[in-house]
Structure formats: C-alpha cells, structure tokens
Amino acid sequence: MNPDLRRERAAATFNPELITHLLDGSPEKTRRRREIENKILSDPDFQHENHNFLTRSERYEAAIKKSAVMVKKMREFGIADPDEIMWFKRLLLGNFVEPVGLNYSMFIPTLLNQGTTAQQEKWLHPSTGLQIIGTYAQTEMGHGTHLRGLETTATYDPKTQEFIINSPTVTSIKWWPGGLGKTSNHAIVLAQLITQGKCYGLHAFIVPIREIGTHKPLPGITVGDIGPKFGYEEMDNGYLKMDNYRIPRENMLMKYAQVKPDGTYVKPVSNKLTYGTMVFVRSFLVGAAAQSLSKACTIAIRYSAVRHQSEIKPGEPEPQVDFQTQQYKLFPILATAYAFQFVGSYMKDTYHRINESIGQGDLSELPELHALTAGLKAFTTWTANAGIEECRLACGGHGYSHCSGIPNIYVTFTPACTFEGENTVMMLQTARFLMKVYDQVQSGKLVHGLVSYLNDLPSQRIQPQQVAVWPTVVDINNPDSLTEIYKLRAARLIDIAAKSLQGEMSHRKSKEVAWNLTSVGLVRATDAHCHYVVVKLFADKLLKIQDKTIQAVLRNLFLLYSLYGISQKAGDFLQGNIMTGSQITQVNQRVLELLAVIRPNAVALVDAFDYKDITLGSVLGRYDGNVYENLFEWAKKSPLNKTEVHESYHKYLKPLQSKL
Amino acid sequence: MSSRAHRVSLGDSWSQRVHPDIESERRRQAFDVERLTNLLDRGARNTTLRREVESLFRSDPAFSLVNTYFMTQKEHFQAAAQKRFLLHKMAQRLNWPEDGLEIDYARRALSGDIILGVHTVATKAIISLGSEEQIAKWVPLCKTYQIIATYAQTEMGHGSYLQGLETEATYDAATQEFVIHSPTITATKWWPGDLGCLATHAIVMAQLICSGAKRGMHAFVVPIRSPQDHTPLPGITAGDIGPRMGLENADNGFLQLDHVRVPRENMLSRFAQVLPDGTYIRCGTAQSNYLPMVVTRVDILTSVVLPSLQKACVIATRYSVIRRQGRLRPSDPEAKILDYQTQQQKLLFPLAMSYAFHFQAVSLLEFFQHAYNAVQSNDTSLLPELHVLTTGSKAMMTDFCAYGVELCRRACGGHGYSKLSGLPSLATQVVASCTYEGENTVLYLQVARFLMKNYQQIWETEGAHSQRSLPQSVQYFTMVHHDKCPAQNASDFLLPEIYTTAWAHTAARLVEDSARHLQVLTQSGADQQDAWNQTSVSLVQAAKAHCYYVTVKSFQDAVKKLDSEPAIQLVLKRLCDLFALHGILADSGIFLYDGFLSGPQVDMVRTAYLDLLSLIRKDAVLLTDAFDFTDQCLNSALGCYDGNVYERLFQWAQMSPNNNSQENPAYKKYIQPLIRSHGSKL
C-alpha cells in the first residue's frame, strides 16, 4: 500500500467499519454484501474487458454479454432479494449501464403496478428470463416531461377488438428509451387512448416490436438507435415509429382503466395510483445521487492524499489534501455525500411504508410523498451533478482522463437531472404543493409532515419583511439551532414567493401567466425547502447513532454541511435577518476550523463507503494508492499504442513533409 | 453574399424552408444584426474575409464534422490528421500569410478539430526561448513540417507547479552533451499534445544540473522519433495516454527519457547558457518570458473557450424557440420553452457572459499590444499586470464558460445529452481548459498575490500620490466611495455606476479582509507560508470578486464607446446590466455582509434582473445569430439556422453505425443461449 494512504488510515480517530455497517443498515447486511461481492470477484466468468478502450459497438456487445452472465449467476448464487440484486449489479456495472436494464427497472414494475393478474401471468415469467425483453417508451422526440403533450395515439377498433397504435408526426416518434434501439422485443408504449371517437388521455400498452426468435422488427415497426451520446455508450437508446400498428385489446394494461370489447371506457377509481412507479424511480434516484457523489468523492480524496504538488513550505512537499483550498473543495462534498446517503435511505423507507398503506387503501400520504420526491430528486441530482464535476476538477489534469473514472461517473449520472422529470419542472411541482399548503395554512388549516413548519407563518413568529425580529440566539454548533434557521429561511422564501404570486395574480388575470412570472422565485423557495429537509433528516439521523465516536465524527460532517450551506447562501440568511454579519463571520471561520478537524479522518470517511476498486473504475482512486505505476500500465492499453508507428504518419505526415 | 444565405447550410433539402417559429423571432429587428456581427469581428472587412474562408469548407465532405460523431477515438484522430493536411495544402494553394487571419478563420470553420495545435505552440516557444542561431536552425524546420515538435512540460506527478518537475538535464563537459533523464515514474512527461503518435522532437522542460549545481527549469530540444521511419529513438519510450473525455484530436502523449544525450547547442539559450566547460551564465531577466505564455493563454480563450460558450448559446437558444412544452394560457398552443422565466434565467446569463467575455478579450488584446510595444522600447513595467490580467481572465473565463456550456446543455433536456446536439463535445472541449495551462485555483491564488502586494503598497505609502503608482486594474482600491449603495429603486440598479461601484466596493473589501487575515496570522507567529495557506480560501474569494469587477468594468467601458450605434448599444447595455446583477444575486451575501447593500436593495436588484430577462428574451435569437457561426461549424442537429430540429435529428440518427443492419450479433451470441438454458430448466 502507498505509504501516504497507510499513514492516513493509521491516523483516523474512528473505525470506518462501524460507519459501513450504518450505511448498509446493519453488520449482517455488510457481511452479506461482501459475501456476494467476493463471490463475484473470485468467479472467472466475470473477466470483462475495460470499457474505456472499446468502440461503441464493442461496448454494447460486452454489456450484453455481461447481462447474460449476470442472469445466469444470479440464478446460480440464489440472489433474488432486491437489496442483494442491487449490490450484485452495483459491483458489476461500476460506472456503466446495461441495455436490458429497463426490462427490470421499468417494464416489469409497470407490469406489476398496472397489469391485471391475467396480464401478469402472461408476461411476467418470460420477461424475468429475458425471453421477452421489455422497455418503457414514453418520451417522444418533441415531448418530454410534459406528459399531456405526447402525440402517439392508440385508437380502439371494436370490429377486430384491436388497438391501432400510430406515430402521426416526426415529433411523435418515441425517442430515448433505453434498450429500444437493438435489444428489446417488446415495449410498454404510452399513448393517447381514443375509443368511440373520444380521447381519454395517456394509457399504457404492451407492444411487440421484434419477432421472437429472429429478432427482426415486425411489419409496421421502424426501430433503431438514436446515435452517440455524452455517455451511456453501451446503451442502445432508441427510436420507435409505429405505422397504424395493430395490437390485441388485451395488450392495454387494465388494472385501473379499461376498454370493454365494445369500446366502452371504464375510468380508474383513482388516478393517483399510477404515480407509483414514478415515485419509486424518483426516490431511488435520490439514493443514486448519493452513490455517484460518494464514488467521485472517494476517488478525489484518496488521490489528493497521494498527490504531492507544490510545496506549502519550501522543501516540504505536502499532499494536495493539506491545502486549504483543496479541503474547501472536497470536504463539503464529502459531507453532502453523507447527507444524501441518509436522505436516500429515508426515502427508501418512506416509500415502502407509504406503499404498504396504499396497499391497505390509505392514499392520504401520497400527495406529500409525490411532492417530496419530485423536489428532492431535483435538489439532490443537481447538487450531486455539480459535486461530481468539482471532484473531477480537484484531480487536476488527470481528472479529465478516463483513467480517473470520474468522467464516466459524471456522464452516466448527469442524465438524472433531465430524465424521470426535468429538474426545473420537478421543482415547480413541489412548489405547487407548497403553495397549496401555504393557502391551507392561510385559511386556518393545520398541516402535517415535513411542511408543518409553515403552520407558524401566520402567527407573529415569522415575519419575513420586518427588520430586527431575528436574530434570536443562534448556536452554530447545535444541530437543532441550525435546523431551525434553515427552517426560517425556507419559510421566508416560501412566504415571499406566495405573496409575489398573489401580487402577479392581482395584476393579471391568468393564473398561468402569474405562475410563470413567479417561477424563478418559486424554484428558489423550493430549493430552500429541500435544503431544510436534508438538514433536518441529517440531524435526525445523528440522534439515532449509538456509538459516541461515530456520532462525533458524523456530527462534524453535519456541522460542515449546514454551515457551508449557510456560508454559500449567506445572502438569504442576512437578508431575512435570520443571522447578522458577525454571525456569518463566525460561520465562515467555523467552516475553516471544521476542515482542519475533518482532515485526519478524510480518507477513513471515504473508505467507510466501502467501494471495491472494480466499482470505482478508477486508477486515481485505488484503495492501495499505487496510482502512478498503474496509470502507466493503463495507458499502455490504449488502442493507439497497438502499433509503434501510427498509420496517420504514413498517410498524412510524410506527404506533408515531402510536399515542400 | 447575404449573411443569411451564408449561415444556412447548403445541400440540406429542408433548409429551403425556415421553421416559422424561428422566423418569427427574426422578424423583430430592434437592431442591425449584421452591424453587430461586424463589431464582433472587429471590422466589416474581417466579416467578409471570414465568410470567404468559411465558404471554402462547405462542400468538401473531407471537412465534414458530422461524421466525427460516429467515429472511434482512433478514426477521429485520423480524420483530424487528414483535415490538417488538406488545410495545409489549401493554405499553400491560396498563398495565405503565415500568421494571417485566414488561418484563424479556417480553424474556426473546422471547430479546431485538427492535429498539430501544440506544434505551433512549441514553435513559438523556440522563438521566445531560443538564441538567434537556434531560431534560425529550428524554426524553418518546424514551419515546413520537416520536424514536428511538442512542448513537454507537465509530468505524471507534477502539473501547474513548475519547480516540482523531476526530469533532469545533466551537463557532461567531457562530451559537451546534456543527459536528459526521467529518474522516476512520476517524472514521465504526461499530457503534452501532438506527442502520442506525431512528434519527432520535444521541447523538454527539465531541471538543469551543471558542475554539480541545480539551476532550475530550462528548455531542451530533444529528438524523439526517427526522421526515416518515425520509430522511437534509443532511450525514448513514448505513446498515447489513453482515452479522455474529449480532445480526440490532441494526441496527448507520454514520454520517458532514459539517459538520452543531446548536444550542448540543444539547450534553448536566450536567457541562460552553459559554456563548454560547464559554466552557467544567466543573460538578462526572463521577464519577457511571460509573453509567449500570455499569447498562448489569450489564444486559447479567444479560439477555444469563448467560441464554445457562444456556440452553446446559439444552439440552446434556437432550440428553445422550436421546442414547445405546456401552456402559458389554457387557450394558447403549447408555449416555446424560451418563454418560460426559468428557461430565460438559465440561458440569458450565458448569453450575457458570451458578450462580456468577448469585450474582455478585446481589452486584453489591446493591453497586450500596449505592453508589447513598451517591451520593444525596453520598458517591462507593464508585464506583471499583463500577466495577472491574463491569469485572472483565464481562470474566470474558463470557469464560467465551462459552467455556461453545461448549463446550456442541460437546458436542452434529454436532447442535450445526445452528441448530435453538439453540446457534449463543446462541454468536453471547454472543461479541459479549466485544468490545462494552469489549474484555476492556482491561477486565482496568483492573482491574489498580486492583489495583496498592491494592497500592502497602499498601506506602506499612505500618501497623496500613492494612487499614481497603482496598476490600472487595481486603482479602484483607493477610489473614494460610499459605505452604502445610494440606489433608491430597481431602476437605479440599471445605472452602470451603481453596479460597478458595488462590485468595486465589495472586491476591495474582500481584498482588505484577506490582507488583514494574513497580517493577524503572521503577527500571531505563523510563518508566511502557513499564513498564506490558512488564508487561501478567502484569497480565492477575493480574487474571484476582483476578476468579476474587471469583467463588468471592461464590458461597461465597451458599451460606453458605442454611442454611434445606439440600437446596438441599448441591447448590449442590457446584457451588461444582466451580467453585473446576476453576479450580485448569485453571491448576495458578500454585498449584504457589511451593509453596503441593504435587504430591500437586494430585492430591487432581483426585480431589475427579472425585468431584464423578459426584455433580453425578445432579442435572444438575433443576439445569437450575430455570432455568425455556420451550421457546419455548429455541427448541431438542434441548433441549425433554419430551426428544422426534429427532421435533422431523425436524419442524423440514421447515420449511426448501429443502424446499418437489423441484425444483432450480440443478441444471438448471448441472449439466445440464455433463453435456451432457462427454458431447459423449466
């Protein structure tokens, strides 16, 4: 092991293993995860090529091969539990994706959520064994997050009891679905249902697109790959054009809405239930944000402990991580990664809890969960996106090379800001919920859950525009006090946004125009609300930690997360008279102190994430810290190094020289 | 040639028809786009020449850029080599002058996607570091490509910090040779462009050791590949450093030197030389050494960094008037996404930056000329300031342009993730510049050092005449101004004096705070280096505020000079206002902190800012048209002049090699056996 890293690990004040247990959920889960990981690592069937040196079509082929092996091995290892599947795939996929991924993450869950028992019986078994490879085709070339704008139609023909699926325009061509281009033979297609001459909005249909056996596109189907992307190179994101293509009536997913053989439309009991998959995927993305950020952070911090750049003092080359500016870049990101880990597991638990109540017919918590996941999905993916890029930049020039692994992490993660609901649209959905809650509070209703702080608004406690009510005593080392001031900031910005919305509405007639003219402020308010939620959940988590050493270590991360946030958004806290200038000075000073406090534990804190090198896919972030030898070995594998003299020399350089 | 015919790519059948949604944007002509283009080109004659050059590349498929999206790294590199070769032939045929604008315009037309970028830099390094004889020997060889040179400075373990480099050049008086050697693996030269497969020679920066003494970094011309068959020479290990986010045309390479001997004459010796007996002599100061570095940095800013941001703005803005989503009024058709306030907030700041940085680059070039002329008459006094202005501009422009391009990319939703949008390539091109040619944090700290030095000077010479000695960019330190901003209402914040003063005040305050902090630490016994490190976060903050102030100031000065073009002046002033106010809102804490701005004043700034968004929105398409990029060089299915986004996206996707056949060998090879094995288990 590299001596620098050995020193770092020896100097840590806590045992990272204990934090690993906390992140996994229990020591038993950590044990089981490692057991699975070690099985994979010792299995010769998992010798796969390094994606970085492959062309796009080679990567596609390698990914398909890997998926096939994974299916086989999961059967062999008896892995079926969702957590275990996740661990299994996380290790093997590393920073990449699998073309059959949507079969598992969208096709099957949608079938389970929206299909009748008969439909599940028919489709579920073949799709788990990949006889049917399904994808989920919602987005069209001209239409994304705004669902109602989709143009694909499904017109019912009672004579033959079929739906005619049609893509009427260029903009209606299904565009982007993963695995659609070359891999899938079925797609769940979202289309406008038309029956008895009337449009009933979007419904889901199972559409066969390729012939089982030959894998050739079926007549009436035009399907293909949408071309190269920023990342996802191994994924065949595709397009799909359906030309008055007929499918049987039974292919409409009919657990909720139905079309009778004669064409009669039967409305679903509640349209909220179809939210299910969407809410699940979005709450999952919060956890994904935490994972990607944690990986990037592991790489950058380990590398910074190994890299010796300039000298703080002549003759004493210090590792990069001793530079205050480097700590200031990386440690707040480390704290954020921990915050999001805890928020991610909270979201997962909440989803399962609420899903159970839904099962028992209780839908009361669904609106808040829906609003919470939308906003937090946007908040965490935006923050993680910026954080990953910051980690890459903190690795200097080598961060730009694929050897660092961070470019792959970035390009694989960044679509999360636009897919499953574009982030600005997500923020505004949560804003709509917050405005509704605000109105309820104004009309004297008591609200519950994470928005309950808005109950205090009408009373004298929070008066956003008045000077000198605040600050009260702010203890910048106290989690409760910090949570409180984030709450005040959120309340103030929500109040301002609501008032300016009302103001715009009194000037203009249309609600939509007023909404648009307030939207920048609404996004700002929602951002503050989400920030408060993250701070609160992190503070709550601290209370649940038994071990005093671990609690102390995480408490410092909590303080850094909250105080750094205040220092970045100092304007909000000053303008609302939540804090004074001299308190801000204290905050800034305390942030710098915390950097020094966290410094000795930095490497141990990323070790606690417990990523195997294969998952990180990084030469710079190796556990053993032997960066440079391996960097050289890695470069030698570059396809351009296969010959000593590159052909371009003969073709272009030679003639260039001889022309003169 | 009319400007419109020029912009529309010929040969695309749908270009006959301009999309009505973009046509309607151009109907409103609040200013003359052509005149603004001329202004950006710094003269109508340049515009004409540029279009002439650009038109040369339009019909030749060898110059196509779309194809590169579907290439492997290797094929892309090959294509860039071919383009460089064809360009060279063209330049010869048309007798283009060596350092003329034609070559710059050709590079722009090809989006810089050609090889041998560093060869030019290395040639310039020989000119500035070499003696007269050395220049006479090597430069003609470079210019006729008899040798291909790279500039090998960065090592695997060492980047922006020059003194840390490990490569050694030890003088051997017995043979009058230097022995160039990489003593460790971290000493391997890593990243230099044109090194991986191309270079025959390297300008190697190495630690000079003669007569047993270390003499610091010097440059040596080292032959690395055979002039006959291009194989590496004995003692040389060289190759490609492997795949990167972008820069497929850069040929970044590595180089290990195992006791490679070069003659004494190969040390570039304008500023220092080693006599045959090993005596080391310095000749004059190396201060004008700055000049080539300044030229390289300014060139990167104007030819790579700024155009990337401008193109991203063109693409995202055009796409945002074609893309429709949701309704603003229930009775309306779906709205153009550019009509959403949140979309305006995302896109109009990058647009304002595009113009702000253009004018900053122009003022930098003017200052450069000024300083260069002074150097010609042996006055080097302006060089430190020139160096710092360039350093600060490099750090700020690359930071902000990288941020802006990525913002534009994400503002295009899912399609911004497709390479066919052109945006991922722009993003990877521009982010590279944040770490090469000096890592930005290191650069901000260099700016901070300059600020500290000048600030301390005021203290030390606190007298009536101290101001005269301050460099112009920091004269605001001593400007007498109020403790509080005098603005009374939102429209006051559209007065350039108001916001420029706000930036000057706050930058000066942050500089002062850092200086105090440093002083307190040193007075309490910390040594200089520790004190500096413990202040570095606030030093970077001060340097950033200073750079922002400099940009606002140069933009404002440029707008002032446009009195003869009132319509253009008006639209550019709005962008200048937006640029200044955006910065205040993004970091309002530093303005509120000492009470310079009050809470209600920040609200006024916000009101003024939101009003500006809707005003600038009306001119947004024309303001991006004025950059006058050809469709070919934008290379974007989303951003073409005619607005036919979806047809082009569909057509380009058909070019994907994955669509060549309906066969799927991977499916047959791996999925079908899997299904069979599964079936047999049932």
- Give mean pLDDT, residues A422-441: 95
Contact B418 A226 (CB under 8 A): yes
pLDDT (mean) for A181-205: 96
pLDDT higher than 70, residue B7: no
Extents of the domains making up chain A: 1-42+289-443+480-643, 103-263
State pLDDT tens for residues A268-316: 876 666 666 778 888 889 999 999 999 999 999 999 999 987 666 666 6
Whether the pLDDT of residue A404 is over 80: the answer is yes
**For residue A240, what is the nearest residue in chain B, using CA coordinates?**
B650
Contact list in A for residue B420 (CB cut-off 8 A) is 226-228
Q: Which of B560, B589, B563 is nearest to B497 (CA)?
A: B560
CB–CB contacts below 8 A, A to B: 364
> What pLDDT shows up at residue A312?
64
Stretch among B255-264, B451-460, B665-674 having the lowest mean pLDDT: B665-674
- Among the residue ranges A399-413, B50-64, B245-259, B391-405, the one predicted with the least confidence is B50-64
End-to-end CA distance of chain A: 54
A614: confidence class by pLDDT, cuts 50, 70, 90: very high
At the second CATH level, the architecture of A103-263 is Beta Barrel (2.40)
Answer positive or negative: Cα dihedral of A63, A68, A71, A74.
Answer: negative
Q: Which of A143, A399, A417 is the closest to B435 by Cβ?
A: A399
Average pLDDT rounded to a whole number, residues B462-484: 76
A236 → chain B, closest CA residue: B658
Q: Does A170 touch chain B (CB under 8 A)?
A: yes
Lowest mean pLDDT across A360-374, B181-195, B296-310: A360-374
Q: Return residues 242-261 of A near B (CB < 8 Å).
A: none
Distances (CA, A) of B130 to B136, B278, B373, B374: 9, 19, 21, 21
- Binding residues of A for FAD are 139, 178
3-state SS, B37-65, equals HHHHHCCHHHHHHHHHHHHCCCCCHHHCC
Residue of A644 and A206 predicted with greater confidence: A206
* Min Cα separation A33/chain B (Å): 26
**Which sign, positive or negative, has the C-alpha torsion A515, A516, A521, A524?**
positive
* A98–chain B nearest CA distance, Å: 13
Reduced to 3 states, what is the DSSP secondary structure of residue A561?
helix
pLDDT in tens, A525-544: 999 999 999 999 999 999 99
**% of chain A beyond a pLDDT of 70:** 95
* pLDDT at position A355 over 90: no
Contacts of B591 in chain A (CB under 8 A): 571
Would the pLDDT of A459 be above 70?
Answer: no
Interchain proximity A638–B679, CB inside 8 Å: no
pLDDT above 50 (res B5): no
Distance CA A312, CA A599 (A): 16
Mind listing the pLDDT tens digit for each residue in A63-102?
999 999 998 899 899 998 988 999 999 998 888 999 999 9
How many other CB atoms are there within 10 angstroms of residue B620's CB atom? 22
Residues of A within 8 A of B231 (CB-CB) are 644-645
Average pLDDT score over residue span A102-106:
92
Burial status of residue B286 (CB atoms within 10 A of its CB: 0-12, 13-18, 19 or more): middle
Q: What does the angle CA A270 – CA A276 – CA A281 come to, to the nearest 5 degrees?
A: 155
Task: Report CB contact under 8 Å: A400, B431.
Answer: yes
Find the helix or strand (DSSP H, E) in which A228 lies. none
Instruction: Check whether B633 has a pLDDT greater than 60.
Output: yes
Q: What is the structure's pLDDT at A313?
A: 67
Contact check, Cβ <8 Å, B144/A400: no
pLDDT number for residue B680: 41
Q: Do A640 and B77 touch (CB under 8 A)?
A: yes
Interface test mutation site (partner B, options A505, A520, A589, A595, max chain B beta carbons within 10 A): A520
Token couple for A220: 């009436």
Query: Could you confirm whether A422 is annotated as catalytic?
Result: no
A324 CB within 8 Å of a chain B CB: yes
Residue A39's pLDDT is what?
A: 93
Residues from chain A that touch B403, judged by Cβ atoms under 8 A, are none
Does the global pTM surpass 0.80? yes
Whole-number Cα distances in Å, B184 to A302, A558, A632, B158, B498: 21, 42, 12, 12, 56
pLDDT digit string, tens, across residues B327-349? 888 788 889 999 999 999 999 99
Among the four given CATH numbers 2.40.50.100, 3.20.20.70, 1.20.140.10, 3.40.50.11540, the one describing domain A1-42+289-443+480-643: 1.20.140.10
CB pair distance less than 8 Å for A519 and B340: yes
The three state secondary structure string of A294-347 is HHHHHHHHHHHHHCEEEEEECCEEEEHHHCHHHHHHHHHHHHHHHHHHHHHHHH
Between residues A327 and A646, which one has the greater pLDDT? A327
pLDDT tens by residue, B346-376? 999 999 999 999 999 999 999 999 998 988 8
CA B667, B668, B673: angle at the middle one, nearest 5?
Answer: 100
Residue B469 has pLDDT above 80, yes or no: no
Name the average pLDDT for chain A. Answer: 92
Interval A1-45: pLDDT, tens:
999 999 999 999 999 999 999 999 999 999 999 999 999 999 988
Residue of A nearest to B593 (CA): A581
- The yes-or-no verdict on residue B465 having pLDDT over 80 is no
Residues of A in contact with B19 (CB under 8 A): none
Instruction: Give residue B365's Cα distance to chain centre.
Output: 15
Angle (CA) B610 B616 B621, round 5°: 140
- Report pLDDT digits (tens) over A361-390: 787 888 888 889 999 999 999 999 999 999
Higher per-residue pLDDT: A239 or A319: A239
Mean pLDDT of chain B: 91
For A629, residues 6+ apart whose C-beta sits below 8 A from its C-beta are B185
Distance CA A469, CA A459 (A): 13
The pLDDT score that the predictor gives to residue B674 is: 79
Contacts of B136 (CB under 8 A, 6+ apart): none
pLDDT 10s digits, B597-622? 999 999 999 999 999 999 999 999 99
pLDDT reported for residue A612: 95
Instruction: For residue A412, count other CB atoms closer than 10 A to its CB.
Output: 22
Q: What is the pLDDT of residues B73-112, one digit of tens each?
A: 889 999 999 999 999 999 999 999 988 999 999 999 999 9
**Percentage of chain A surpassing pLDDT 90?**
77
Look up the ipTM and state it. Answer: 0.94
In the predicted structure, residue B12 carries a pLDDT above the cut 80:
no
Mutate to test the interface with A, among B585, B607, B664 (most CBs of A within 10 A): B664
Tell whether the model's pLDDT for residue A460 goes beyond 60.
no
Banded pLDDT at A655 (limits 50, 70, 90): confident
Which of chain A's residues have a Cβ under 8 Å away from the Cβ of B254? 632, 635
**What per-residue confidence (pLDDT) applies to B670?**
85
